[in-house]
Amino acid sequence: MNIPADLKYTKEHEWVKVDGSIATMGITDYAQEELGDIVNVELPGEGDEVHKDEPLGAVESVKASSEIFAPVSGKVTEINEPLLDTPENINEEPYEEGWMVRIEMSNPSELDSLMDADAYRKHIQEESK
């Protein structure tokens, strides 16, 4: 299981990569593995306001449908449009081609509540017990 050290993570299995005031997010390798083959993705629209810990979209797999939660608050500046036609990119490359949205953060201090790679690894181990 791939847990890149340069990302931040949520308890709901989203990842965040920060570049200045922009947070790129998606779901983790662990999440896509648990979901199985992803067949559909629902994403917010560009310009939509999202709020930390509130649903911003969903992924549907052959096993289940699961909401995606905003890891930070702000305005959606970009969505990964190709995912709408090729949601399997999330299974194949959750941290590269499988990113979901970019958010211009309205409150960067919210990042402080997210986990680093080590804490996320421990969280998964606890959850799996």
User: CA 129, CA 123: separation in Å to the nearest integer?
Assistant: 10
Which pLDDT value is given to residue 129? Answer: 76
Is the pLDDT assigned to residue 2 strictly greater than 80? Answer: yes
What does the DSSP 8-state code read for residue 79? E
Percentage of the chain beyond pLDDT 90 is 95
> How far apart, in whole angstroms, are the C-alpha atoms of residue 61 and residue 71?
21
Closest CA to 73 of 111, 113, 105: 105
Could you list the beta-strand ranges (E) of the chain: 8-9, 14-19, 22-27, 38-42, 49-50, 55-61, 65-69, 74-79, 101-105
**Picking from 18-22, 61-65, 111-115, which range would have the lowest pLDDT averaged per residue?**
61-65
| Helix (H/G/I), strand (E/B), else coil: 47 | coil
> pTM (2 decimals)?
0.95
Single-letter amino acid, residue 49: E
42, 57 Cβ separation under 8 angstroms:
yes
Q: Give the pLDDT of residue 54.
A: 97
**pLDDT value, residue 1:** 86
The dihedral through the CA atoms of 85, 25, 67, 2 has a sign that is positive
Where are any strands of DSSP class E within 70-114? 74-79, 101-105
pLDDT for 47-100, tens place per residue?
999 999 999 999 999 988 999 999 999 999 999 999 999 999 999 999 999 999
